[in-house]
Amino acid sequence: MTDPRRRIPRTDRLLAEPVLVAAAARLGERRVRAAITQAQDAARRGDLAPEEVAAAVDRELAATAPSSLRPVLNVTGVVVHTNLGRAPLSAAAVAALVDAAGYVDVELDLATGARSKRGVAARGALLAACPAAEEALVVNNGAAALVLATTALAAGREVVISRGELIEIGAGFRLPDLIASTGARLREVGTTNRTHAGDYADAIGPDTGCVLKVHPSNFRVEGFTAEVGLSELREVCGDVPLVMDLGSGLLAADPALPGEPDAASALAAGADLVTASGDKLLGGPQAGILLGRADLVQRLARHPLARAVRADKLVLAALEATVGGPQAPVIAYLHADPDGLRRRAERLAGRVGGTVVPHDGRVGGGGAPGVPLPGWAVRLPEALAAPLRTGDPAVLPRVTDGACLIDLRCVPEDSDAAVADAVQRALACTS
């Protein structure tokens, strides 16, 4: 009797199949070979007929993406969701990323053929969007911007900062540890809840590298409190550089986010240098942004550390397209019309059931802590959360008070039907 395993197709024959040649071009030959080996092993065990090997490989590879990262429909109502990669990019920024994926003139003047400076266009877009800044510099993230600033201005010297601004943000990241890593010494002033101008004045001296003011990010201190505004602090600092860490990346004031600091206002109030993130309220890619006095920004740009934290061509392209292009999704989601959200929620409930309930969205990402974004959600059984997360597409709802809430604030309206389909599949799984 002939051993059926002899009918298992050989690897070289399978690799020559047009559909697998195309899969190798999309995913790489290594992944195709791994899928072939897996199917062949299944056939040897008798779990798969030899004649089904090629089809099994095709099915496996058709369901495989080049990256393990999965797109997610964000129905939490949190706009800048750190666990979901923060800001979704605009169509213009995505197109810029694709263009920049190949060879581009990131450091070349095509007219002369000579080498040029990196990030000139992104810098120009930032300065046009924030005229209060004399100069701009882009690095690879917000923490890098702060590290570069404190290293260049205060390594081996003191950074004067209020005790109420020694913050910790997500994943145990602590601002004091970050600053200490630069070789600067922290000079803490004031108390957790109250800091006065005199506290800064008493601390500033010949060994002061800079004074740092930090946006408290994702918390608020209320009650018996006092802090020193930038205008007053500017007078106290004298010739000492005053650095403001905005965190959120808001370039100009937004009436929808009262109290959220922005770069233009901070610079107008007396900050010499502001640092911010590109992937929060700015709505762009992960980047660190430095804006302010030309001499200070140029000093930072010349520091050796600037090379280690510089932004790559993809970030520069997406940032330029975000700052100088059409409205970023983050801005649209922040200003979503509550009445429109209610109508969309009612349409969704009409398809999948559930109850339409008021639901306040949140900025997220440390921006505008405590500021509600009025809206609506569809309240469904909590049991739907798991199948929604693990479905295709993945849908991330908010789970609270024993319910699964579907808030369409951060979903493009043309994707509402995809959310409804996902909910119906989840309902079928749990029925």
Q: How far apart are CA 322 and CA 202, in angstroms?
A: 43
| Residue pLDDT tens, the chain, 431 long | 577 788 899 999 999 999 999 999 999 999 999 999 999 999 999 999 999 999 999 999 998 888 889 999 999 999 999 999 999 999 999 999 999 999 999 999 999 999 999 999 999 999 999 999 999 999 999 999 999 999 999 999 999 999 999 988 767 778 889 999 999 999 999 998 999 999 999 999 999 999 999 988 767 788 888 999 999 999 999 999 999 999 888 999 999 898 889 999 999 999 999 999 999 999 999 999 999 999 999 999 999 999 999 999 999 999 999 999 999 999 999 999 999 999 999 999 999 999 999 999 999 988 887 889 999 999 999 999 999 999 999 999 999 999 999 999 999 999 999 999 999 999 998 87
Report the distance separating Cα 348 and Cα 408, nearest Å: 9
Report pTM. Answer: 0.91
Between CA 417 and CA 408 the distance in angstroms is 11
Please give the pLDDT value at position 399: 97
Supply the pLDDT for residue 59: 93
Tokens 């195709």: give the residue: 32
> What is the CATH code for 91-326?
3.40.640.10
Break the chain into its structural domains and give their ranges: 4-62, 72-82+332-430, 91-326
Instruction: Tell me if 229 sits within 8 A of 213, measured CB to CB.
Output: no
The predicted pLDDT at position 301 comes to 97
Specify the amino acid at residue 345: A
Q: Please report, for residues 205, 211, 236, 240, 325, the alpha-carbon distance to residue 295 in angstroms, rounded to integers and kept in the order given.
A: 21, 17, 21, 13, 28
DSSP string, 173-190: -BHHHHHHTTT-EEEEES
Task: Report how far residue 143's alpha carbon sits from residue 270's, in angstroms, rounded to the nearest whole number.
Answer: 22
Residue with tokens 């997220």: 364
- 72-82+332-430 shares its CATH topology with 91-326: no
pLDDT at position 168: 82
How crowded is residue 255: how many other Cβ atoms within 10 Å of its Cβ? 6
Which CATH class, in words, describes the domain spanning 72-82+332-430? alpha beta
The reported pLDDT for the residue numbered 2 is 72
Listing from the earlier edge strand, what are the strands of the sheet with 376-381? Answer: 72-75, 394-400, 403-406, 376-381, 355-358
Residue 149: closest CA among 243, 226, 284: 243
Q: d(Cα 301, Cα 288) in Å, to the nearest integer?
A: 13
366: its two tokens: 């440390």
Concatenating the DSSP letter of every residue in 49-96 gives -GGGHHHHHHHHHHT--SSS---EEEESSBSSBGGGTBSPPPHHHHHH
Give the Cα separation of 290 and 243 in Å (integer): 10
Q: How many CB atoms lie within 10 A of CB 207?
A: 13
139 contact partners, CB below 8 Å, separation of at least 6: 145, 148, 287, 288, 289, 290, 306, 309, 310, 311
Closest CA to 167 of 159, 157, 177: 177
Which two tokens mark 180? 């200490």
